[in-house]
Amino acid sequence: MPKKEVPISQLQQFVPDGTYEAVLDYLRQFKVHLTVAKERKSILGDYRHRTNQENHRISVNGNLNQYAFLITLLHELAHLLTFERFGNRVMSHGTEWKSIYGQLLDQFLQHKIFPPDIEKEIMVSLHNPAASSCAEDGLIRILRRYDPPGSPFILVEEVKENSLFRTDDGRIFQKGKKLRKRFQCKEVKSARMYLFSPVYEVERVEAGGGSP
């Protein structure tokens, strides 16, 4: 995933107004090496804990809207704070992480910077934060309302049954039926079946645009 170094002063353009200083405090306190991914991928962010050779490292997808960027960054900061407190002795998305992530969300809710619809979904998350910063379907759908117009990405649930879509690694799939919470989809090249979350982001493939 291509990444770029972002001067700390430029972080303001990626986060909502009124949150820069609070975010900066965490980055400086823990000497975080922050990078921003250029391309939109299914993995919105990533955290690597400090070692004897390197400081904490966090990467966040730079094509996210400001609200999604902040929530993803808080997700990764929660991993950092969990590591600082518990080391590698706890599960990555266990009770300890959920508690710390919830505290971070609550802290930034106090800034009153989220639109009412996002704030409502975050309040739901405070009771049991999901394993992904945007894993709750409702939050994903609402965050997408604030994406800039003209995005080529759609959700799997928006693809018509039997139509084709492309994942970020270039593979082409044909959408099938929904099985419980996920859609069963066939990879065109291998004919293997895969299950997709309804809110997984993909690109639509027009008729005749798939693999032969």
Summarised one tens digit per residue, pLDDT across range 69-121 is: 999 999 999 999 999 999 888 888 888 998 999 899 999 999 899 999 999 98
Q: Which amino acid is at 201?
A: E
**Prediction pTM value:** 0.81
Compute the distance between CA of residue 115 and CA of residue 143 in angstroms, rounded to an integer: 10
What pLDDT score was predicted for residue 6?
55
- List, in sequence order, every residue forming a beta bridge with 24; answer none if it has no partner: none
| Domains in the chain: boundaries | 3-144, 153-205
CATH number of the 153-205 domain: 2.30.30.30
Compute the distance between CA of residue 141 and CA of residue 120 in angstroms, rounded to an integer: 13
**36, 12 contact by CB (below 8 A):** no
What pLDDT score was predicted for residue 1?
45
What pLDDT score was predicted for residue 29?
94
Segments of the chain with pLDDT less than 70:
1-9, 39-42, 128-136, 207-212
